[in-house]
Structure 1
Amino acid sequence: MADEVSPKLIQIGPKGGAKKDGFNLVTERVVAVNPEGKQLEVELLAYDGKTVVLDVDDEALEELRKLKVGDGATIRVVEEGGKRIAKSFRIRAKDPNAARADAMLLDLRDSHWLNRKYAAEVLGELKDVRAVRPLVDALTDEVGDVRQRAYDSLIKLGGPAVSLLVPLLVSEEDELRQSVTEIIRKIGKPAVEPLAMALAEADDRLKTRVMKVLDRMGYKPKVKDEAKAVDAPRLT
């Protein structure tokens, strides 16, 4: 009878070597759970969100059924017969702030304006960058109180919000254009670099608006006469 082949480490990363007892795979998000097919798909944030499908050992099926899509988990993995086998699972507690942000992102799309208003306010307090796009969209909410909370929260989010706000500086809607201008000005210094980057690709109309905002903030972009290129704004 041939000797059994010892399990070996799956080389997902460049570091580490073969280990008979496998290794721990940490995932922030379970993508799919398939107890019937004895498989599990998880997302690997360290690899730009790529996913990996693991076969699940029979002895781990009971633990597999406890996993839910969206859970974080630490998974003990070995390779046997050329297959990735999950031997055990440990559900990882989710960051309470991230969990709350998930709930608020859903509420920001709720049909009741009070829920949208509350969600817009809380997302600013949590400073979760995933909220930038939904909050920018909320600047055009039909309810003024929701728009105001989105306005305030985008200021709290600061620099990460600027790149999505810049295109709205040339909006045809006066109220939206004015709100965006004020938000960027109130963000202050963290907005300068994103504004400078926007100048490099902006058309003439948007470039004029960006230059005007920078001027009001006290920053004078230095323009080279020869190439008409724009350097990063500097305070004068």
Structure 2
Amino acid sequence: MSNEQDFSGLIQALASENKRFEAAEKLIDAGSSAVEPLVSALKFDNWRVRGNAAWTLGEIGDARAVNGLVEALDDSVPEVRATAGRALVNIGRPSIGPLLKLIEKRDCRAKGLVSCILSCLGVDEAQRSIPKPA
């Protein structure tokens, strides 16, 4: 699959019970060239597309997906939030900074999930509460 390849058909197939695995495999095979279209798919109306896009991004493991996946932690569908969290764990260390910023927000609905993700990434409670320099 070339960089100019149109990923829209594969991304739409992420909503299909019959085609989602094949579509995800092709997107994973495309690697970094599929990251931007998949990050955009995290905002689609269909929650299955959002969840499967998050899963696929986690399998690709590209740090450029971190900000979109962090935003997906606030998704209205619990399955999408959980899948985005798993993807952030798969991506690893690049996820830590944005997650620490998110957990500092008073209105963060996903604080429990973010704490769990940070724990999976090896960030303990003490490290999360270290005051940041002004």
**Displacement of 1:178:** 1.2
CA contact (8 A) 1:138 1:147 kept: yes
Larger radius of gyration, structure 1 or 2?
Answer: 1
Residues 70-219 of structure 1 correspond to what in structure 2 (within 5 A)?
Answer: 96-173=30-107, 175-188=109-122, 191=123, 195=127, 199=130, 201-202=132-133
Q: Give the Cα separation in 2 of the matches to 1:108 and 1:201.
A: 30
**Displacement of 1:103:** 2.6
Q: Give the Cα separation in 2 of the matches to 1:138 and 1:175.
A: 12
Aligned residues: 106
**Displacement of 1:202:** 4.8
Q: Give the Cα separation in 1 of the matches to 2:36 and 2:103.
A: 29
Q: Structure 1's 202 and 137: CA in aligned 2 closer, same or farther, altered over 3 A?
A: farther
CA contact (8 A) 2:70 2:99 kept: yes
CA contact (8 A) 2:102 2:108 kept: no
**Displacement of 1:167:** 2.0
Q: TM-score scaled to structure 1, two decimals? A: 0.40
**Whose RCO is larger (CA < 8 A, sep 6+)?**
2
CA contact (8 A) 1:156 1:187 kept: no
Q: Structure 1's 139 and 202: CA in aligned 2 closer, same or farther, altered over 3 A?
A: farther
CA contact (8 A) 1:109 1:116 kept: yes
**Displacement of 1:111:** 1.6
**Displacement of 1:117:** 0.7
SS of alignment partner, residue 39 of structure 2:
helix
User: Greater strand share, 1 or 2?
Assistant: 1
**Displacement of 1:170:** 3.1
Query: Which AA in structure 2 matches 1:155?
Result: V
User: 1:170-219 CA distances to partner (integer Å, 9 max, x unpaired)?
Assistant: 3334741111111011011xx47xx58x946257xxxxxxxxxxxxxxxx
- For structure 2, list consecutive stretches of 5 or more residues without a partner in the other structure: 5-28
**Displacement of 1:139:** 0.4
CA RMSD of aligned residues (A): 2.7
SS of alignment partner, residue 75 of structure 2:
coil
1:7 maps to which residue?
none
